[in-house]
């Protein structure tokens, strides 16, 4: 049995296979997931697990060089936006939500949470450990 890091076997496998600049998405339960993009569904019920809990766990196990959020989160979900930026103290960009959804087409995986607050989605771009 795995002792530390991400215990979810599907997420652990995806993280182990990432290369530099590959992306993954951690999403609320309403984000449309493009056909052909792997979905890992963690949603248990409304709000669980939260985007922040999931992001915190993934960031402990993944080297991230950049995150992308929807521009709309700044006004419509300041709590999740501020907690996300606190957890990832690095380069962050914002794009309109429609563009954000287009960017998810290139992700290796979308991890669907039970989050139910507006625009609670983040794209993580893989960095390198050397």
Check if 20 is active-site.
yes
**Residue at 9 is within a domain:** no
* Binding-site annotation: residue ranges: 28, 97, 119-121
Please state the domain count of the chain: 1
Q: Write down the residue that tokens 């963690």 correspond to.
A: 42
Q: CA-CA distance, 37 to 22, in Å (whole number)?
A: 13
Instruction: Report strand pairing: 23-27 vs 122-126.
Output: antiparallel
Domain for residue 8, yes or no? no
- For the segment 29-64, what is each residue's pLDDT rounded down to a tens digit? 999 999 999 999 999 999 999 999 999 999 999 999
Please report whether residue 25 resides in a domain. yes
Give the active site residue among 16, 17, 20, 105: 20
SS3 111: strand
Give the number of other CB atoms < 10 A from CB of residue 86. 9
Q: What count of Cα atoms within 13 Å lies in the side-chain half-sphere of residue 4? A: 3
Which residues carry a binding-site annotation for substrate?
Answer: 28, 97, 119-121
pLDDT, one tens digit per residue, over 3-38 is 888 999 999 999 999 999 999 999 999 999 999 999
> Within a domain: residue 7?
no
CB distance 34 to 98 below 8 Å = no
Q: Can you tell me which residue has the tokens 């989160």?
A: 73
Range of the domain at 63: 21-126
In a domain, 5, yes or no: no
Q: What CATH code is carried by the domain that includes residue 49? A: 3.40.1650.10
């Amino acid at each position: 049995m795995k002792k530390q890091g991400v215990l979810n076997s599907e997420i652990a496998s995806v993280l182990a296979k990432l290369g530099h600049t590959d992306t993954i998405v951690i999403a609320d339960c309403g984000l449309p997931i493009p056909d052909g993009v792997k979905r890992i569904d963690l949603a248990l019920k409304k709000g669980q697990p939260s985007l922040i809990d999931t992001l915190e766990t993934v960031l402990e196990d993944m080297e991230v060089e950049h995150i992308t959020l929807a521009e709309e989160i700044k006004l419509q979900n300041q709590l999740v936006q501020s907690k996300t930026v606190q957890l990832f103290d690095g380069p962050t960009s914002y794009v309109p939500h429609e563009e954000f959804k287009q960017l998810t087409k290139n992700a290796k995986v979308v991890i669907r949470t039970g989050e139910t607050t507006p625009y609670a989605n983040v794209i993580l771009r893989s960095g390198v450990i050397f």
